[in-house]
Amino acid sequence: MKQRITYIAFLLLCITLTLSRAQASDFVFNGYCKEKSTNTETYITVKFPISALPNAGPFYLVQVDNQSTINDELLDAIEKRININYTCREFLIVQERSGKNTEDKIAIGNTIARVYFRNDQSKLTSASISILDNLVKLTSSSKKKFTVIGHTDNIGSLEYNDKLGKKRAESVTSYLKSKGIVKVNSLSKGESVPLESNVTLLGRSKNRRVEILVN
């Protein structure tokens, strides 16, 4: 299911920002959510005087233009307006509508995508494939290099999880290369960098992931 929502965000001006307000720009939020077998892609045009949206908490964004930042409060407010559940956020990018090349929009050092895996699996899910396809569209003209990092929960030995993380990273790398993104290297961090506590099922599900960074 796809839904398209245009939201003029001037009502959010009351939120404290650390942004330059010199000139308004249109941004497209491309959010993908996988929940209860339903795929939802939401596109929102936000008219707001913002020039950059770098990483903000659970959001993974493409940064544009300069080093200005936008805070979590605004992002959460936008999220609530469009009803994207916090727990199902898997990928969110921001892209400015301008004539600039993608090369000028992707900030080095940023994590720009994340995909999740089933327990003890390294096979890409349908949600992961959709996310990677969107990433390919975004980066097809970029000359930058990418690092793909595989992660696991803490079920199993350190050695096993390191190998599993590597398999997950290689699955993503192979898919990206098959789509023409060839400047990619992969590595594993196993269970060493959890996003959430491994005590709960939900926490472990969030740790079974691959993250894609711009070198």
Which pLDDT does position 64 carry in this prediction?
Answer: 29
Residue 113 sits in the same domain as residue 76? no
3-state secondary structure of 26: strand
Gap between the Cα atoms of 180 and 174, Å rounded:
10
Residue 26: pLDDT above 60?
A: no
pLDDT, tens digit, for every residue of 95-152? 444 444 545 445 555 677 888 899 999 999 887 887 888 788 877 777 788 999 999 9
Name every residue whose Cβ is closer than 8 Å to that of residue 6 and which is 6 or more positions away in sequence.
Answer: 44, 45
Does 72 share its domain with 6?
yes
Same domain, 86 and 108: no
Range of the domain at 206: 101-215
pTM of the complete model = 0.60
Boundary-marking domain end, from 48, 69, 100? 100
Q: Same domain, yes or no, for 116 and 212? A: yes
Model confidence pLDDT, tens digit, residues 32-85? 444 444 455 444 444 433 333 333 333 333 322 332 334 444 455 555 554 544
